[in-house]
Structure 1
């Protein structure tokens, strides 16, 4: 009977064809391999996110030193957000008595950040490293005002590094 190449335990009859590892060592090896693969996937995602950190401008004109090499294409990102019933209730009270609604402002801020991040990702996917002429359009999707759609658009360009 053969021994496990990892821990030295005697291999059972059904473990003989497992590449020289006992069941316990094979499971541990598989777990380590899965962890390494998960770390690699996370690292790739971090790299993609870092590369997607595109320069974003709201104008077609750009500061001195940014030389556009190529206009790639128009990119857009859409983001729909719903506000829960409590936010809607308090914003309705604000309509009557006046004042700012922090809950609605926070929702709009989160919507904007998400849409701009998606716009950067879209630009990166088409090979651009900057977006110029960025435009944000907010649309109320329902009469009650509990859904907000934000469309972010711009021109994806490649600029000289």
Structure 2
């Protein structure tokens, strides 16, 4: 399965457009991660804890996007867009939405 943010795949013309496909994932950061991230905010530097949470959420959304596209009979998803939002009380959770166009090349 080819997954790309571009609208075309070089050397592989789109034969069939199967429709829009999307996947969402919501992941929470627990209180210990919040405490350590808060300390990192005070002393400066990158928050590896939150970076790992974001990466995990992104990978989960992309896996689900691929599975949903395969169920539609696609062999590629083009024009993928990733959106990141905080949700929940006080922004305690991270939502990642992956959207693209399922196609057959």
Q: TM-score range by the shorter chain?
A: over 0.9
The answer to whether 1:135 aligns with 2:71 is no
**In 2, Cα distance between the equivalents of 1:96 and 1:67?**
51
The answer to whether 1:103 aligns with 2:49 is yes
2:21, 2:69 within 8 Å by CA — same for their partners in 1?
yes
**In 1, Cα distance between the equivalents of 2:47 and 2:91?**
13
**In 1, Cα distance between the equivalents of 2:22 and 2:77?**
10
The answer to whether 1:59 aligns with 2:9 is no
Structure with the bigger percentage of helix: 1
1:143: Cα distance to partner?
5.2
Structure of larger gyration radius: 1
Q: 1:112 aligns with which of 58, 75, 82?
A: 58
| Total equivalences in the alignment | 105
88-97 or 124-133: bigger deviation: 88-97
Structure with the bigger percentage of strand: 2
Residue by residue over 1:48-107, the C-alpha shift from the partner in whole angstroms, topping out at 9 and shown as x without a partner, is: xxxxxx1001011321x2121011000000000001111011111222221111111111
TM-score, scaled relative to structure 2: 0.94
Residue by residue over 1:11-53, the C-alpha shift from the partner in whole angstroms, topping out at 9 and shown as x without a partner, is: xxxxxxxxxxxxxxxxxxxxxxxxxxxxxxxxxxxxxxxxxxx
**In 1, Cα distance between the equivalents of 2:44 and 2:99?**
32
Structure 1 consecutive aligned stretches of length 4 or more whose deviation exceeds 4 Å = none
Structure 2, gaps ≥5 residues long: none
CA RMSD of aligned residues (A): 1.1
Counterpart secondary structure, 2:100: strand
